[in-house]
Structure 1
């Protein structure tokens, strides 16, 4: 079989992409694209999970109409958000979005009962207010007691397609409930939440064959014959698999979030790593993603939305290109930028409060964001080197941010090292190569990355001198 379809759903959009391998070259074809966003209902933020399932069905119908009679299929999405199912397999509650504010103050409350040091020692996962641990702590006890199964979003979509329940490991690790030593859900943390182990499904590794589409779907819709394969369902895990990493390189999976880290074969859950808020998310094939969450392109996505989408992302980058560099800077990872009422106002207020020029125009706002992201990457790259006690030779940027030439060049300038940008479709590629490895089309991830490197354009950016960089860094550190 040489038709492999990735269902790749991010926080702002989703798509179905077909991958085919011919004479050592991997090709992608987008079959269906759709928007995604959460909505507010009575003061809470929810995803429309039924809409996402419907879009998968529409994409598969398009695949069949294009002459694809059979395929393998894998699903990846964002992390941490979950679905509660009752004993009949029905959804108990709408799916909370991680930017919902119900967990804003819960880390301190939980810390009074379960020390952050103990949680990190057990799980190696960074403290973020939206981690599943805190979301479940905030959830209604009555609804949790009714839950027969707790599935993360991609697990639930697999369930809707096959009727089988799983908890895929790369995404399950982001719950902050998996124990690094036992490689299972941590009994103490489950007890703390008053949740039973059997409320979670079997931990499932990427590459596991899950079976075929539910017969009722084939009767209801004109769909290809699909063999569903469990991929690395956390989109960052798939993106890292799709990155042609070299020894000594770090990566940034650049999208709504910028995930900056290195791939390791062992976790690094020291107290220094905890204090710097680095995480050890599980990867495919016995790896760990030791990384830092940076607010990422969410900042410019919100600015663009508030400008009524009258500029494309490319146009905003062009406007930023001609603006004065490092005029105004913001600390990208400050909680105020997680989900503000108005991102433009929040950026302007932050600049005003720190005595900097206020960015007024779209170009100035974009330049403020890109400059600040580049300096964030420098800061966290230096932290990464210190924590891992290793020299990082270069940086591979994958995902949508690899298309932003200005940001890539600014990053190379800031870190003083070569930046390789691409492939932009790393997440879909990582999804697809796991399917290919599972079916025997590709031997292993080493071969997969070599195929990706020769199949897709990778652009190199070399560092250029930044005038008065010491002064800029001094201002940056004072924010």
Structure 2
């Protein structure tokens, strides 16, 4: 009989529950449940709708139960950097703020003003390239401007850790997701406590680090009763989605590279040790933790996020518009305009279409005409 393992894969645009059926030689995948991930704006801030995502996860597990699948394990992965605070009773302290929220803007300048720590100091320890959305800068904001939340907290859990906690009641920080935070010592693979203390960040909220493959706990009894599954082991997979993607990529040699493309495009190689030097820092390469002790040395650039936002707007007005339509129309367009996908204008605008039109007009003096040229300017930029 096939062994069945459930993968809960949460992306920034959608999530899914997939059953992997393994007969000892071949793995077959069956999608059980798929759902949209729709962030929420409130009072100028951008949030993840975590409770909706947890509800969808439970819906997927119920579907797996109704199918009669003999499930042997469950694992969860998500995007990187985002986290939540729990108090001593396990209550969530506030809603989960989206990494595309602008609270990280200006935090590096405030760190330079408030402390003796430089960006070079941070990179030397963590090996993670600078982005305002990194957990380190989000947490610096929280300590400085939301102390009422931080002071009540008993634990900081990254998003896959939080889903696992909801399933098991156990608190851990899985290594690959923790490595995206810019708070881990890349060489020692432990929390960069010395650096964090210099920044005034609450090291005591960070949890025990566990490696991919660790059994976090069993499916809690209340969850068993609700979804109709027995006491199944919940496994800490490579819970940063890119870590799992790279682990599944059949790299043929030490000279092989990978490209993981979704909302973000991550191009890199697997190393046995982090590569941290001035040249690496200058070119904004990052050292994230991988499965089986590897380092994912990569370049992180904006991927299909912008196209996703255009599709969301256009398909609301015309349901026949899908990604295939956008791609076909973009191929026909003649414009050579190429946006800079990593420009801050495209991080989280209220209207992505308008942001692109304004950018091309202001930067290049070009007035794009129609959806095809708008999409083409994005693809041109990604390819540049």
Please, what TM-score do these two structures have when normalized by structure 1? 0.75
Q: 1:256 aligns with which of 257, 263, 276?
A: 263
Give the match for residue 473 of structure 1.
Answer: none
Q: Superposition RMSD on alpha carbons, in Å?
A: 1.6
Unpaired segments of 5 or more residues in structure 2? Answer: none
Where does 1:147-226 land on structure 2 (aligned, <5 Å)?
Answer: 147-226=153-232
For 1:23 and 1:199, how far apart are their aligned partners in 2? Answer: 41
Equivalent residues of 1:63, 1:224 under 8 A apart? no
Shifted more, 303-312 versus 139-148: the winner is 303-312
- Give the count of matched residue pairs: 374
Relative distance call for 1:36 and 1:57 in structure 2 (3 A) is same
Q: 1:431-472 CA deviation, whole Å, 9 max, x = no partner?
A: xxxxxxxxxxxxxxxxxxxxxxxxxxxxxxxxxxxxxxxxxx
Q: 1:82 to 1:104 in 2, by over 3 A?
A: same
CA distance in 1 between partners of 2:43 and 2:355 (Å): 24
Q: Deviations over 1:331-363 (max 9, x none)?
A: 111122111232112212222223353322222
Is 1:122–2:125 an aligned residue pair?
yes
- Output the CA distance in 2 between the equivalents of 1:221 and 1:29: 19
Question: Matched residues in 1 for 2:231 and 2:19: separation?
Answer: 14
Where do 4+ consecutive residues of structure 1 move more than 3 Å?
Answer: 192-198
Higher mean displacement: 94-103 or 359-368: 359-368
Partner of 1:43: 44
**Preserved CA contact (<8 Å) 2:158 2:177:** yes
Contact 2:61 2:227 in 1 (8 A): no
Q: Distance in 2 between matches of 1:198 and 1:215?
A: 29
Q: Aligned partners of 1:214, 1:24: CA distance in 2, in Å? A: 31
- What residue in structure 2 maps to residue 137 of structure 1? 140
Say which SS state the counterpart of residue 146 (structure 1) adopts: coil
Following superposition, the deviation at residue 228 of structure 1 comes to: 0.8
Q: Distance in 2 between matches of 1:239 and 1:138?
A: 31
- Give CA-to-partner distance per residue, 1:219-249, whole Å, 9 cap, x none: 2332354221110000111111122223223
Q: Judging changes above 3 Å, is the alpha-carbon distance between structure 1 residues 301 and 34 closer, same or farther for their aligned structure 2 residues? A: same
Checking the alignment, whether the CA contact within 8 Å between 1:320 and 1:364 is kept in structure 2 is: yes
1:196 CA displacement: 4.3
Shift of 1:193: 4.4
Contact 1:39–1:47 (CA under 8 A) maintained in structure 2: yes
8 Å contact from structure 1 (residues 3, 20) kept in 2: yes
1:284 positional shift: 0.9
Gaps of 5+ in 1: 376-479
Tell whether the 8 Å contact from 1:328 to 1:356 is kept in structure 2 after alignment.
no
Q: Given that residues 20 and 28 in structure 1 are in contact (C-alpha distance below 8 angstroms), is that contact kept between their aligned partners in structure 2?
A: yes
Higher relative contact order (Cα pairs below 8 Å, separated by 6+ residues): 1
The aligned counterpart of 1:269 is 276
Aligned partner of 1:285 in structure 2 is: 292
Contact 2:337 / 2:364 at 8 angstroms: preserved in 1? no
* Secondary structure, aligned partner of 2:72: strand
